[in-house]
A and B are shown apart, each in its own frame.
Chain A
Amino acid sequence: MIRAAGPDSLLVIVPALNEEGAIGAVVRAVREHVPGVPVLVIDDCSTDGTIAAARQAGAEVLTLPHHLGLGGCVQAGYKLAYSLGFQYVIRVDGDGQHDARDIPRILERLKTSGCEMVIGSRFVEANGSRTGAARSLAIRFFRLVLRPILGKPVHDPTSGFVGVNRAALAVFSRSFPLEYPEIEALVVLQRRRFRFEEVPVKMLPRMAGRSSITARVSLYYMAHVLLGVFVNILKYDRRLRRSPGTSRPKNGGGVGG
C-alpha cells in the first residue's frame, strides 16, 4: 500500500485506459527518474492488459468499477492521494508522451514557487514538440479565451502533465471537471484565487494508441470546454460562500502569480 512519507511526500498518478502497450514503460521511467516515489495507475476500466502491465512494472493500481472518463479517473487518484495525506501529486499520462525526466523540475517548482499548480508546458520554450492540427487549433483558441479570465497567459492549457500541491488537491478532491478537465481545472483554481506556473517540458511521441481529440471531435471539444469554462465562472459555490475561510489560499494574490 502506498503511504505518504514525510512533509514533502509526492505521489505520481497515471490515468490509463487501454494503455497496455505503453503503461509498463511509463511506470518504469517514472520509477527510474524519481526513485522511491510511489506510482499509482488509475485504470478507467480497461479491456486489455493495462492492469497487469502496470502491476508488473511496479505500480499500485486503483481500478474503477466502470468507465468514468478522464476527469473522473484523475479525480479518483486525487481523492486517494488526499485521503492518504500526500502533499504533492504529479499527473503523468499513460500513453508515454510525458518525459519522466521533467518530474523533478515540476516538483521543485511546486515547492519553491508556492503555486498551487505547475503545468508542464510544451510551448513555454520552443522544444520541438509536435501537436496535431486539431489540438493545435484548440490550444490557440483557448489561449485567447483564458488570457482575460486567468489574468495571465497560459501557453499550454490542454497539458495533462500537471503537478498540484495539497491546497489544490483539497479543491480537486471535491470538485473536478469530468470531461476534458485540464482547461476547466484552471478556471476552478482561479475561482479560489490560486496560482499556477508553467515549466517547459518535452513531449515525446505516443508509445501506443491514438489521441482521443481527433479532428472530428475537436469542435465538440471546444464547444464543451468553452461552455464548461463559462459555467465555472458563473457557478454559485455555496460551500465557498458558507465558509469563506476554509477554501482561501494561504498565499492569495490571484492566478496571475
Chain B
Amino acid sequence: MDRLLNVTTVLSILLLLMVLFSVRRAHIRVEYSVSWLLTSLAMLLLSRSRPLLEIITRWSGVPDTPLTLFLISGGLFLIMFFRFSVIISHLRDDNVALAQRVAILEYHIHSLENHES
C-alpha cells in the first residue's frame, strides 16, 4: 500500500512538473492546463494523506483503499478526456465553418479579379 502511494506521489509530481514546463514553453495554453494541474494536485494530496483516502474508502463503500485511489484517478481523467472531446468538437465545427468561409471569400475575390481583368 505504501509503495503504491509513493509511486502515485512520484507520478503526480512528474505530471505537475510536465504541465508547468509545458505552460512555460507555451506548448499548452493556460486555460487547458488548469484541469491537468488540478488532477495532479488531487492525486498528490490523496497519495500523501492516507487518513483522507481511508475516510473516502469507508464512505464510498469501496472494499479496498488502493482501489479507491485508482477509481478517483480514473474518474478524474475520464472527466478531463470528456471535456477535451467537447473542446475538440467545438474546434472542429469552427474549423469547418472557417474553411467554408475562406473558400467562399476566395471564390468572390477570384470572380472580382476576373471581372476586372
Task: Answer yes or no: B100 CB below 8 A from chain A CBs.
Answer: yes
- Take A1-B111, A1-B114, A1-B115 as given contacts and tell me if A72 and B96 are in contact as well, using a CB distance cutoff of 8 Å: yes
Closest partner residue, chain A, to B106 (CB atom): A63
B106 touches A68 (CB 8 A): no
- B79-117 interface code vs A (CB 8 A; 1 in, 0 out): 000000000000010001001101110111001101100
- Chain A contact patch, size range: 10 to 19
- Take A62-B107, A63-B106 as given contacts and tell me if A76 and B100 are in contact as well, using a CB distance cutoff of 8 Å: yes
**When chains A and B are docked, how far (Å) is the Cα of A6 from the Cα of B60?**
71
Mark out the residues of chain A between 40 and 78 whose CB falls within 8 Å of any chain B CB in the assembled complex.
42, 60, 62-66, 68, 72, 75-76
Chain A residues whose C-beta falls within 8 Å of the C-beta of B106 in the assembled complex: 63, 65
B115 touches A62 (CB 8 A): no
- A69-109 interface code vs B (CB 8 A; 1 in, 0 out): 00010011001100100000000000000000000000000
Task: Answer yes or no: A29 CB below 8 A from chain B CBs.
Answer: no
Chain B residues whose C-beta falls within 8 Å of the C-beta of A80 in the assembled complex: 104, 107
- Take A1-B111, A1-B114, A1-B115 as given contacts and tell me if A68 and B100 are in contact as well, using a CB distance cutoff of 8 Å: yes
**When chains A and B are docked, how far (Å) is the Cα of A37 from the Cα of B8?**
68
B102 touches A65 (CB 8 A): yes
- A15-47 interface code vs B (CB 8 A; 1 in, 0 out): 000000000000000000000000000100000
Chain A residues whose C-beta falls within 8 Å of the C-beta of B103 in the assembled complex: 42, 62-65, 76
**When chains A and B are docked, how far (Å) is the Cα of A79 from the Cα of B112?**
19
- Take A1-B111, A1-B114, A1-B115 as given contacts and tell me if A65 and B99 are in contact as well, using a CB distance cutoff of 8 Å: yes
B111 touches A79 (CB 8 A): no
Chain A residues whose C-beta falls within 8 Å of the C-beta of B104 in the assembled complex: 62, 76, 79-80, 83
**When chains A and B are docked, how far (Å) is the Cα of A66 from the Cα of B97?**
12
Q: Which 5 A-B pairs have the closest CB atoms?
A: A1-B111, A76-B100, A72-B96, A64-B103, A65-B102
Chain B residues packing against A (C-beta within 8 Å) = 92, 96, 99-100, 102-104, 106-108, 111-112, 114-115
Since A1-B114, A42-B103, A76-B103 are in contact, a sample of 20 more A-B pairs with Cβ atoms closer than 8 Å, ordered by chain A residue number, is A1-B111, A1-B115, A60-B107, A62-B103, A62-B104, A63-B106, A64-B99, A64-B100, A64-B103, A65-B99, A68-B99, A68-B100, A75-B96, A76-B104, A79-B100, A79-B104, A80-B104, A80-B107, A83-B104, A178-B96
Chain A residues packing against B (C-beta within 8 Å) = 1, 42, 60, 62-66, 68, 72, 75-76, 79-80, 83, 178
